Amino acid sequence: MKLELPQHANGEFCIPAEPRNKRRMSGLFFCIMLLSIARPSLAEFSFKIAVPEDGVYRVSYNSLAYTGQPPASAQLRLWVGDRTVGMQIEDGEDGTFGPGDSFTFKGGRLAGAQSWFAPYTAENIYRLHLRDPATEAADNHSTLTTTSVQTQLPVLEHLERELLRAALPAAEGQRSETWYWRRLSHLDPLPFNIEPQAPGVPHKIRVALAGLSQDNAALAAGIQQHVVELALNEVVIGQARWNGQEAAVIEVGHNAIIGALKANNSQPLTLQLRVPKRRPTSNASPVIDLVLLNWVEIEYAAETAANRLTVPGGDTRTQLLVGNQVLIPRWIKPYRHISLRDQTSQMDYLIIAHGTLLGAIEPLARWHRQQGLSVSVVDVESIYDEFSYGVVSPYAIRDYIRHAVDNKLAPAARYVLLVGDASWDVHSEAGAARNLVPTLQVQAHNELAASDNGFVTVTGEDWRPDLAIGRIPAVTAAELSAVVGKIIRYAQDPVEHQWHSQIAWVTDMNTEFQAISNALATGPAAGFKANYIYPAKRELNNDQSQQDLLQAINNGQLLVHFVGHGGRFVWRTGPPDYRNSSDLFSVTTLKQLENKNRLPLVLSMTCSSGPFDHPQANSIAEAFLMLPDRGAIGVLAASWRVSASKSFSSLLIEELISGNNRLGEAVMKAKQREPNRALVESYNFLGDPALKLRLPGRKSS
């Protein structure tokens, strides 16, 4: 048996050594000094190991599906990020890592900069090199000598689940926590109960909370907006009082805990969280008090006998193996490194696709090559491997695009296409399955909005795009093939149609929205036939307007411009109808379209009609694009709440009909001229950014 000692940059590194269940951890924290070692070149025989949680993991030789010559145990090296990780290798004392052998290592979850879990992935990636050249220059396989260190080290149990998503205000330059466990309210009929998982009597308890509601009547009455009580076995041991949408922590010491157990020592121990019902005065309404629970931490004074440190040869570098639960990695697969940094050939168009969609996107890449563009198709996993040590991260995509622009031969890339859906819920299996090409998140109106804009802000430090970017949010190859087929047929059509000179202007009864449409139709789009689809004042329902819109799209429109109220699945196109919803043009309504080969570009200038990162269902913007043989050729839509902007619509239309721009370029140039950052970051283009609009007298290829 051999032990590889952990190596690290000079400094302290805290290792939580106990395993935890999903969303919860019970760990022993011990700070150790580790030494640095040079980063090796990537080995020929390498694997990626996915670790979702803190704990001790075992990897067997057989699980690697490796068919080559078994390597010497001394050549194995495990990395996470830019540092090596200690391994305990069981090789039968023959010095070779082969069939029947295994190794264990201390794995850790991937933490966020300000959160217990990382926001973009639930998996940390460890990289195993079977024949690492760095091992030739470093002797890291000491003979194991076990020494028992009698010391009191605290055990910390961290309980947290990522079930609710909220974006509360944060200090300038910082990002607030976005995932929470549970919402607590003064209306809850019962307290929220939590059972600690570790045995023994707690030494300290901490509960992290955040305010959600803001009852100004409470402030006016001189009482605080939030109160949360913490009880142990139904005996109150602490509380927090605070105002606003701020974070708060309840911290309880050992004396209060012992006092509660003297009053009620029932087992198992149970914590209760309760928001008490309060009234400013006896006759007043209760204070509206909504609070978010973030996490609970319980600290125990460890038993000396339970904490024995393995100290190799008396060295001050230590390896902790505490507890008898050994975990299995979520998955293991080959680590195939492609040197993207070394590729310097000139590229006009960067297509970044999930591996399952590479084949389905190739016809579009081939089409653009035939039209004279130099196109590079890159597996997004290769980007992670080179720019984020294998970890799923949108920042790796951003860094790759910046690197490509800065280091490839001139002229620099002009277009970027992201191929694959995104999902903000990486903590559930279904949500993570849709996160094929993650997007960036920006904070807008105290919520998080999907934004691809940040991928192409590659010059300077501003928020304006420097490249044209689009996304096809497909989940399956069949979905993608349907969209690619629409795009190529649109581009190849040699006939100029009458509908290429028509624009549909769509809104509801609101005269302000109608005035915006009228001004755009007679202003920047004055040379095009305007088809106004406004509900008639005499309509009791919206049936006629719905049919008019369907018919207009079926007949063919160069552009469909909607301005008004909307949501994830709908446009409001008529007077409010709360009984039958006839006022809503919806994802379901789209299925009635029959506009094959007459596909418009849709400008959906409304709130939240394009949050393509929702983990469960497609938005109306996605539905327009993804409909096979029907729908739209491309869609510009906002992923969160926005205000109607005549000026932004005007900029878009000016750039689109100028005849000088492809679709993505028109959006990029309009954003470069738009002063409102929220509009620039909230609106995303779904479609092919290098496609040309079928303007009258102009081919799209």
The predicted model gives 61-69 an average pLDDT of: 87
Band the pLDDT of 316: cuts 50, 70, 90: very low
449 in a structural domain = no
> Are 30 and 320 contacting, i.e. CB atoms less than 8 angstroms apart?
yes
pLDDT at residue number 563: 96
Separation between Cα atoms, residue 9 and residue 301, nearest integer Å: 30
Residue (of 679, 173, 680, 647) closest to 464 by Cα position: 680
Judgement on whether residues 673 and 561 belong to the same structural domain of the protein: yes
User: Between β-strands 154-159 and 141-142, what pairing exists: parallel, antiparallel or unpaired?
Assistant: unpaired
Is 0.85 topped by the overall pTM? no
DSSP notation for 128-191: EETT-GGGGT---EEPP---------EEEEEE----EE------TT-----EESEEEETT-SSP
User: How confident is the model over 436-470, as pLDDT tens digits?
Assistant: 999 999 887 667 889 999 999 998 888 999 999 99
Separation between Cα atoms, residue 448 and residue 164, nearest integer Å: 13
Judgement on whether residues 616 and 636 belong to the same structural domain of the protein: yes
Separation between Cα atoms, residue 427 and residue 393, nearest integer Å: 14
The predicted model gives 310-327 an average pLDDT of: 43
Which residue range(s) make up the domain with 363? 340-433
Judgement on whether residues 284 and 368 belong to the same structural domain of the protein: no
Judgement on whether residues 611 and 499 belong to the same structural domain of the protein: yes
Residue 219: how many other CB atoms lie within 10 Å = 15
The predicted model gives 121-131 an average pLDDT of: 92
pLDDT at residue number 153: 55
How far the first Cα of the chain sits from its last, in Å, is 65
pLDDT at residue number 302: 64
pLDDT at residue number 310: 37
Structure token pair of residue 145: 């000598």
Query: What is the domain-level CATH number for residue 419?
Result: 3.40.50.10390
pLDDT at residue number 409: 74
Does the structure show a pLDDT above 50 at 428? yes
Does the structure show a pLDDT above 50 at 435? yes
pLDDT at residue number 303: 54
36 in a structural domain = yes
- Enumerate the β-bridge partners of residue 571: 566, 585
Does the structure show a pLDDT above 90 at 143? no
Does the structure show a pLDDT above 60 at 502? yes
458 in a structural domain = no
Judgement on whether residues 425 and 538 belong to the same structural domain of the protein: no
pLDDT at residue number 621: 97
pLDDT at residue number 171: 57
Separation between Cα atoms, residue 669 and residue 524, nearest integer Å: 15
Judgement on whether residues 224 and 169 belong to the same structural domain of the protein: yes
Q: Number of folded domains in the chain?
A: 4
pLDDT at residue number 312: 33
pLDDT at residue number 460: 82
User: How confident is the model over 155-191, as pLDDT tens digits?
Assistant: 788 999 888 888 787 655 556 778 899 999 999 999 9
- Strand order through the sheet with 235-242: 192-194, 271-274, 226-232, 235-242
Percentage above 70 pLDDT, the chain:
84
Judgement on whether residues 247 and 394 belong to the same structural domain of the protein: no
